[in-house]
Amino acid sequence: MSIKFRTRTEAGKFLARELTAYADCEDLLVLGLPRGGVPVAYEVAKALDAPLDICLVRKIGVPGHQELAMGAITSGGIRVLNYDVISSLAITEQTINKVTADEWQELQRRDRVYRGDRPPLNVKNRTVILVDDGIATGSTMRAAIALLKQQQPRRIVVAIPVAPPETCDKLSEQVEEVVCLKMPEQMYAVGVWYEDFSQTTDEEVRYLLATRSHLTTTLSQPSTS
């Protein structure tokens, strides 16, 4: 493996090799964090022959510095805030609430665009692999974990190509397993670790979800096992 991943697709293929222990797992479900996490999650789902869905979480970016997360919000209304960032930049509650409201509107739009008439897959009593293209502060992933825990999965596995070691340590306290390919001490930004980090489009997310939609019908109802 080179220092950088060429693309999200390559990162997903490398990540899938580290997750083969779950290939025979009953009721396995792979969830990608839109948008960038979905191409990575698609490769994992394809390699493990698992259904693919999205976990709708939206970063709450610092105004003027959108890549810097001051928190995250989920489609279930959960909000996780990064108080270190908020305090260091003296961000007001009014600003936080304004950005949160804007991101909530974007979450609702994405839900309509990505899923259409398909309902979210039920995760209760299932093993869920939660995938993103990388983690910096961890706010978005922590929000996703909080949302999933409300739905009572059997097991949550966080799988990411790159994240700082301290972030992985903190996440490992919240889930059953964290699988991370690269853990640089100096993370900077996720895009630094990709040769091609071009934006994933809505059309690509829709296509990848639809490609694996044939596996979703048996997972639309709660598992009773």
Tens-place pLDDT, residues 78-115? 888 889 889 999 999 999 999 999 999 988 888 888 87
DSSP 90-138: T--HHHHHHHHHHHHHHHHHHHHHHHTTPPPPP-TTSEEEEE-S--SS-
CA pair distance 178, 170, nearest whole angstrom: 10
On whether residue 102 sits in a domain, the answer given is no
Domain count, the chain: 1
Q: Six-digit token pair at 111? A: 């839900």
User: Dihedral angle at the C-alpha atoms of 49, 52, 55, 59, nearest 10 degrees?
Assistant: 90
On whether residue 33 sits in a domain, the answer given is yes
CA pair distance 36, 133, nearest whole angstrom: 6
pTM of the entire predicted model = 0.85
Contact 183, 3 (CB under 8 A): no
**Average pLDDT in the chain:** 89
On whether residue 98 sits in a domain, the answer given is no
Q: Which of 151, 61, 39, 44 is nearest to 106 (CA)?
A: 61
What type of residue sits at position 152?
A: Q
Q: Which of 29, 6, 5 is nearest to 131 (CA)?
A: 29
Helical H segments across 36-89, by residue range: 37-48, 83-88
Per-residue pLDDT at 21: 95
CATH of the domain at 167: 3.40.50.2020
Per-residue pLDDT at 223: 46
User: Dihedral angle at the C-alpha atoms of 4, 175, 131, 68, nearest 10 degrees?
Assistant: -70
- The whole domain housing 167 covers 8-54+119-219
Q: Six-digit token pair at 214? A: 């044939």
Rounded mean pLDDT, 23-47:
95
On whether residue 173 sits in a domain, the answer given is yes
